[in-house]
Chains A and B, each alone.
Chain A
Amino acid sequence: MLILKLLFLNIWRNRMRSLLTFIGLLVAVLAFGLLSTVVKAWYAGAEAASEARLITRSSISLIFPLPLNYGERIRGIDGVERMTYSRWFGGVYKDTRNFFPQFAVDPPTYFEIYPEYMLSDDERAAFYRDRRSAVVGRKLAQEHGFKVGDLVTLRGQIFPGQWEFLIAGIYDGKEEKTDTGKMYFHWAYLNEEVKKRNINRDADSVGVFITSVPDPSRAAEVGMAIDALFTNSPKETLTETEQAFQLGFVAMTEAIVVAIRAVSFVVILIIMAVMANTMSMTARERTPEYATLKALGFSPRFVAGLVFAESMLLAVLGGLTALVLTYPAAWAFQASTGNMFRHFAVSFDTSLMQLGAALATGLVAAVFPCIRAYRIRIVEGLRAI
């Protein structure tokens, strides 16, 4: 008990130094956790994506639509279980800062292929029934206060003009990682209005076809078969798994993600150096005490153990505090970035990594001071000032 008391008292012996080191460690581990969460959120779309769904788009670019009539030919491919389609709308709700994804879809087939989007039977029926209706995800509804029955007006950018939609339902995600930040409405309504309003966008066209493949091991084979259908046509296709499709978006900003990842590790390296300096200074100052303990009969291993325990205790205290504070910090970060990250949550893996980083910091910081404390000769240590 006395030794434990000595350990705790030693940590706060030089309060300012210990406090600054504690804060530095806390900030570093918190930043590490937050940056790791940002990286994970960046990949969240890809992680939530299915390997059993294929996305077929224009081989030239995603911005070029594909003819709707491709759909029936795709449906006939061996290995395709279901087929649906969607088209990106890209409208503005009140202000460009209120960005959220909007897709024109074929509701019955779309929600069949995406069973993770859950609607009540009534809301589903209402949505299917009314061509001018839309459904929004729970998160999106909470952000903007959307309720069933609300009329939402979007200002079209790709499809100019004002577009009104009646909220027929609010869908929930089956899993926590399911994106509930989107809006879906009828493709048929969009297509009708494109023609009626003479909007200069390809009518009877879709952005992507989505197919479900019950046997994921056949995904590549089915994808190639789909693309083979349209080889040498004016609008050739590129089919890939949904996961690869999502990763394609991430790849566009991969440099940023790599930089963020690198910074998160650099931050930990910096605090390792800072804490190693703190522990070295501490050990140097206490050389006469360590020599006294050795003179009294405490072993070199014990003395080194005191140094090690002090370093690890400081690391654990800082690490655990940072871990706890990461959650409110992540909440504040997401609130400040608006709709940038649909799914932004500190994962268990991230928390473990934070703890690991804190422990590694304590360990590295203790190495040289421990060796010094172990090796110091009693006579030399007693003479040290």
Chain B
Amino acid sequence: MIRIRHLGKSYRRGDQDVTVLDDLSLDVAQGAFLALMGPSGSGKSTLLNLIAGIDRPTKGSIEIDGLDIVNLSDSQLAAWRAENVGFIFQFYNLIPVLTAYENVELPLQLTTVPAAERKQRVEQALAQVGLSDRMGHRPNELSGGQQQRVAIARALITSPSLIVADEPTGDLDRVSGEEVLKMLQRLNTDQGKTILMVTHDPKAASYAGAMVHLDKGQLESQPAAA
């Protein structure tokens, strides 16, 4: 599903070029649950951002389902993300003034899904993450784990083919973290979602089907069983 070839990413700092990713090539199969691991500064989050289409590489190609997203314009990339990518951030990034229901509904504003169907989808998504009784609550009325579950529901609402999760349990306690990881595991095994998860925690990575290690912007190994 994901085909990355000779991917590179550099930043300009003053008069120096800082290389974050260096000539990286990787294949990710449809329905994989891949953990991206590595020390801080290894480039794992950068790799995730590039695959998700929220950053641009300096060189190389990223093909997802046959589409080279590197050559898309900004507006095309935004439209592609809306349809194909579900995001789960470390700090949830929910809109604080909207309820759980409304946060989950937000991505559907970019679709032509009619109102009645929207309602059904949102309720289903929240039921899937076990928050049917918290639909009217704002993020500040939810625990960290509950907020992350809302974020997961939001990530699923447009039925994307790819879910990217950047340290999804980084801000959660052990119990909540495990709940979230089990949920991701279920999404992968039961619904066949392709999931890419950045984590520095080997225990979290063990929930994935496979993992890769990055260090200094390069892959130390190809995907191996987690």
Given A2-B105, A6-B95, do A296 and B74 touch, yes or no (CB 8 Å)?
no
Bound-state Cα–Cα, A381 to B74, Å:
16
Question: Hey, what's the 0/1 contact readout for B107-118 against A, CB within 8 Å counting as 1?
Answer: 101100000000
Given A289-B93, A379-B49, A379-B54, do A295 and B87 touch, yes or no (CB 8 Å)?
yes
Question: Hey, what's the 0/1 contact readout for B133-152 against A, CB within 8 Å counting as 1?
Answer: 00000000000000000000
- CB pair B106–A2 under 8 Å, yes or no, is yes
Flag whether B22 is at the interface (Cβ < 8 A): no
Flag whether A294 is at the interface (Cβ < 8 A): yes
Flag whether A292 is at the interface (Cβ < 8 A): yes
Q: Which of B85-113 contact A (CB under 8 A)?
A: 87, 89, 91, 93, 95-98, 102, 105-107, 109-110
Bound-state Cα–Cα, A365 to B109, Å:
27
Q: Which of B28-53 contact A (CB under 8 A)?
A: 49, 52
Bound-state Cα–Cα, A313 to B79, Å:
28
Q: How many A-B residue pairs have CB under 8 A?
A: 65
- CB pair A297–B97 under 8 Å, yes or no, is no
Bound-state Cα–Cα, A289 to B98, Å:
12
Flag whether B55 is at the interface (Cβ < 8 A): yes
- CB pair A296–B95 under 8 Å, yes or no, is no
Q: Which of B50-66 contact A (CB under 8 A)?
A: 52, 54-55
In whole Å, how far is A289's beta carbon from the nearest beta carbon of chain B? 6
Which residue on chain B has the smallest CB distance to residue A301? B75
Flag whether B81 is at the interface (Cβ < 8 A): yes
Which residue on chain A has the smallest CB distance to residue B77? A297
In whole Å, how far is A292's beta carbon from the nearest beta carbon of chain B? 4
In whole Å, how far is B116's beta carbon from the nearest beta carbon of chain A? 14
Query: How many residues on the B side are at the interface (Cβ–Cβ under 8 A)?
Result: 26
Flag whether A207 is at the interface (Cβ < 8 A): no
Bound-state Cα–Cα, A379 to B48, Å:
11
In whole Å, how far is B159's beta carbon from the nearest beta carbon of chain A? 14
Flag whether A10 is at the interface (Cβ < 8 A): yes
In whole Å, how far is B85's beta carbon from the nearest beta carbon of chain A? 8
Bound-state Cα–Cα, A260 to B30, Å:
72
Which residue on chain B has the smallest CB distance to residue A8? B97
Given A2-B105, A5-B102, do A294 and B78 touch, yes or no (CB 8 Å)?
yes
In whole Å, how far is B108's beta carbon from the nearest beta carbon of chain A? 9
Q: Which residue from A2, A13, A379, A382 sits with its C-beta under 8 Å from B93?
A: A382
* Chain B residues, CB < 8 A from A9: 97-98
Q: Which residue from B54, B83, B87, B97 sits with its C-beta under 8 Å from A6?
A: B97
Most interface-central of A291, A293, A297, A300 (chain B CB within 10 A): A297
Q: Which of A240-290 contact B (CB under 8 A)?
A: 288-289
Which residue on chain A has the smallest CB distance to residue B52? A295
Q: Which residue from B91, B96, B102 sits with its C-beta under 8 Å from A2?
A: B102
Q: Which of A62-104 contact B (CB under 8 A)?
A: none
Binding site for B on A (CB under 8 A): 2-3, 5-6, 9-10, 13, 288-289, 291-300, 377-379, 382
Binding site for A on B (CB under 8 A): 49, 52, 54-55, 74-75, 78-79, 81-83, 87, 89, 91, 93, 95-98, 102, 105-107, 109-110, 154
